[in-house]
């Protein structure tokens, strides 16, 4: 793996860990109803990820060249 790939994996791990810690905290503080199962929790995770992604330049400037390149790559590959 290249240094850049190592940095990418590190960033992904950090973002996922941040989400996991936030969700774990919400569970331990009884902010998440006990009856929620995988359906509600998946939706909660998706909404949390969307909130975090809203800080991205790709979401802040959706018509930028960077955003267009990102969406093009996602559409044309198996990501």
Cα–Cα distance for residue pair 49/16, rounded to 1 Å:
9
Nearest CA-CA partner of 52 in 13, 14, 15? 15
Report pTM.
Answer: 0.79
In angstroms, the CA 49 to CA 51 distance is: 5
pLDDT at position 78 over 90: no
Length, in residues, of the chain: 79
What is the token pair recorded at 16? 């996922």
Q: Are 36 and 44 in contact (CB under 8 A)?
A: yes
pLDDT tens digits, residue range 23-48?
Answer: 999 999 999 999 999 999 999 999 99
Residue with tokens 């930028």: 64
């Amino acid at each position: 793996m290249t240094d850049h790939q190592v940095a990418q994996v590190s960033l992904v791990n950090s973002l996922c860990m941040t989400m996991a810690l936030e969700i774990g905290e919400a569970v331990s503080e009884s902010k998440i109803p006990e009856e929620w199962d995988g359906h509600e929790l998946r939706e909660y995770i998706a909404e949390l990820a969307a909130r975090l992604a809203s800080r991205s330049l790709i979401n802040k400037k959706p018509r930028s060249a960077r955003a267009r390149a990102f969406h093009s790559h996602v559409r044309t590959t198996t990501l």
